[in-house]
Structure 1
Amino acid sequence: MPNEHGAALMLEPDRMARLDIAVKGLFATPVAAVQLPSSEARNAILRETILQRRATTPSVQASNAGGWHSDRDIADWGGAEANTVLELARQVATQMVADRKGQPIRPRWSMQAWANVNGPGDGNICHYHPGAFWSGTYYVDDGGCADDPLLGGEFEMLDPRGPGPGMYAPALKFAGEDGASAGSGETIRPRPGLLFLFPSWLFHQVRPYRGDRLRISMAFNFGLDQTSAADAG
């Protein structure tokens, strides 16, 4: 503030430290993660099932940059193991929604689900999933990514708020837990048995896998079944 001579007064650092500042994080983006139990045996069967399908069925071209992307019908051929994962994902999706009054609600979800197999150098370009509310991933085989960060293969989510501080002062960040990622992105490192969901409008990509094995995952979209109303509960 200016003093009587019009000059600006600077608060001393110790005075700044005593200010009681109320900060509220606005517009948070929910990302829900669950490490599924008993995943080792399930994943061994899923891995074999997915690789058998890959050997007999051409890849769909979607966001995949290389690699193999199945049709969106793994619920039909993935067996009990795939459908167990998808049912658990459906439960997470339901638990993570409410009506506009904050009351629990049980939407009747429509679903698409598929498998991805990425080999050396394969990834997925930036994209989002129109026509869905929740999207998600389940890791069957991480290709060693969990133990070696040099192998890449991370799932990366881009800040939906835009460039943030990077537009003007890239060297600055907002103080607080998530300030460093403002205007950039956050990553999830693959780990077998990890299931996570994110809003379908969230821009995301998969960084190229640099290992010499196979990185295998399931992916899915949950939209609203337009033929029936949601059940309140």
Structure 2
Amino acid sequence: MDTIYSRINEGRLVVDGGEFEDQELKSPRIDELVIANGAQLANVRFHDVRIKHGSFGAGRAAVTYTGCQFENCRLAITTVGRANFINCSFAGSYIKGWFALSAEFLQCSFSSELKHVVFDARPSPQVKLDLRRTKNRYENNDFTASSFVDVSFRGGIELKREFLPKSPGGFFLPEARAAYSSMADKVRTLRDPWAVDLLAFLEVRLDACLEGQEQDYVSPADIGRTTKSADGQQVLQNLFTEVAEQLS
């Protein structure tokens, strides 16, 4: 029987197509992971896996993960690739540096730490052509037990259809463009040196709104990272609290 584990060779896991079901992969370290060319993984359990780089969806055909579990993993993959995740779970894991520009996530659950991650609903022209896709789908994903640090949603992901982190001090903005414009106008009136940091943060978020991301979520960690000034952080926290109350 062909197994995922048998594809590991000198720290590299390469899967080029094929179907894999009801298997378990437990390995302390994989330097490079490449799952490619329409491979189908169903109910595959990744446990305590450390991945340094690679792609969940290499090649032209999308790779599909259905009911897969990623438990206590360290997933430092810069290119998620053409990967579709359906009813998958990411528990107790550390997810860093993901650029999900051609991926889809449907009914997945995350109880992990996410850091420097981008989720984007806009497929590239080539992905549109190859996969006959007009939008990367994000539907009913559960992030409630996750922590976010520098996590961005872009390209029109409907966050009302997602379950966002419950961290105290986080803010969901259903009308993000208006919220960021209002906050930026108020920050421009400030003369404190840290106001430059606040304005830069708000303008970056506003740019994402102008590119189609109408709803946004800001984590408490993101507010804390905006400026080193405790006064500046408190002002930004107050602005978010004020605008969130106005939109509620």
Kindly indicate whether structure 1 or structure 2 has the higher relative contact order, using CA contacts under 8 Å at least 6 residues apart.
1
Greater strand fraction, Structure 1 or Structure 2: 2
TM-score, normalising length: structure 2: 0.23
Larger radius of gyration: 1
